[in-house]
């Protein structure tokens, strides 16, 4: 498939080298977007060969990093395969996502994380997934089991043309809603997930702050659905 891997990175210096090494096994070009990291990420990326590295001068958010990666990928490729930089995803799980798109065409494919009910998974991740799934549907998006998974396959340039407003974590839920409104289907394929022990895994998720941001995003999307503010 004509696809590139896009990895947004923010202060994942200890993890990013291993993530890139694992992603190389797919044989796809790799684009890493350093979203204003202040740790060793930039130095680690300088040591990597045969990848494209983009740098934001300051932190703009995961959505902004994804959009930068998508714009770069769209210059030469038809799809962007996204992976998180914290080592949560196994790149080998990408094959079902790629196969799904090859069969179904111009769709978004979300990696549905398995084992999210395990005791090692933070309660915030379990709660956040259920909360997000419901409100994505209420906002006019698809009913799926894992609307917060960052392991995805996006069609390009369609995704860039959706007009997504959110630039942080909320990008990943808003893009599903806007895609549904434009007639772009969202499908799911099972993937594994690795949650490192507390103190090892690097996470920038802040429950209350991001809950408020999510709520604001869903309120905006619901209002636009009711009043038809973004219909084209």
pLDDT in tens, 113-165: 986 565 556 656 666 788 899 999 999 999 999 999 999 999 999 999 999 99
Q: What percent of the chain has pLDDT over 70?
A: 87
Residue 232 has pLDDT above 50, yes or no: no
pLDDT digits (tens, 9 = 90+) for 39-89: 999 999 999 999 999 999 999 999 999 999 999 999 999 999 999 999 999
Q: What radius of gyration, in Å, describes the C-alpha atoms of the chain?
A: 17
Determine the Cα–Cα distance for residues 173 and 153; give it in Å rounded to an integer. Answer: 14
Cβ proximity of 138 and 218 under 8 Å: yes
**CATH of the domain spanning 3-227:** 3.90.550.10
Question: What's the mean pLDDT when you consider all of the chain?
Answer: 91
User: β-strand 152-155 against 52-56: which pairing, if any?
Assistant: unpaired
The domain locations on the chain are 3-227
DSSP summary character for residue 197: P
User: What pLDDT does 193 receive?
Assistant: 87
Residue 199 has pLDDT above 60, yes or no: no
Q: What is the secondary structure of 83-123 as a DSSP string?
A: --TTS-S-GGGHHHHHHHHHHH-S-EEEEEES-TTSTTS-H
Q: What is the secondary structure of 124-166 as a DSSP string?
A: HHHHHHHHHHHHHHHTT----S-TT---EEEETTGGGGS----
Give me 205's structure tokens.
């998720």
Determine the Cα–Cα distance for residues 100 and 114; give it in Å rounded to an integer. Answer: 17
Across 23-48, average pLDDT: 97
User: What pLDDT does 231 receive?
Assistant: 52
């Amino acid at each position: 498939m004509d696809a590139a891997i896009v990895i947004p990175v923010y202060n994942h210096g200890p993890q990013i080298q291993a993530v890139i090494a694992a992603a190389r096994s797919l044989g796809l070009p790799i684009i890493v977007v350093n979203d204003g990291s202040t740790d060793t990420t930039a130095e680690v990326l300088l040591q990597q060969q045969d990848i494209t590295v983009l740098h934001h001068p300051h932190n703009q958010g995961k959505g902004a990093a994804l959009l930068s990666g998508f714009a770069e990928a769209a210059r030469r490729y038809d799809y962007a395969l996204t992976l998180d930089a914290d080592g949560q995803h196994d790149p080998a799980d990408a094959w079902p996502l790629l196969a799904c798109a090859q069969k179904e065409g111009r769709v978004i494919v979300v990696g549905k994380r398995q084992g999210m009910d395990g005791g090692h998974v933070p309660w915030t991740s379990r709660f956040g997934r259920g909360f997000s799934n419901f409100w994505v549907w209420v906002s006019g998006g698809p009913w799926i089991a894992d609307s917060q998974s960052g392991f995805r396959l996006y069609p390009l340039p369609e995704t860039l043309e959706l007009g997504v407003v959110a630039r942080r974590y909320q990008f990943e839920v808003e893009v599903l809603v806007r895609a549904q409104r434009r007639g772009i289907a969202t499908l799911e394929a099972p993937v594994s997930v690795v949650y490192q022990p507390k103190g090892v895994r690097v996470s920038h998720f802040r429950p209350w702050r991001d809950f408020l941001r999510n709520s604001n995003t869903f309120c905006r999307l619901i209002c636009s659905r009711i009043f038809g503010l973004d219909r084209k």
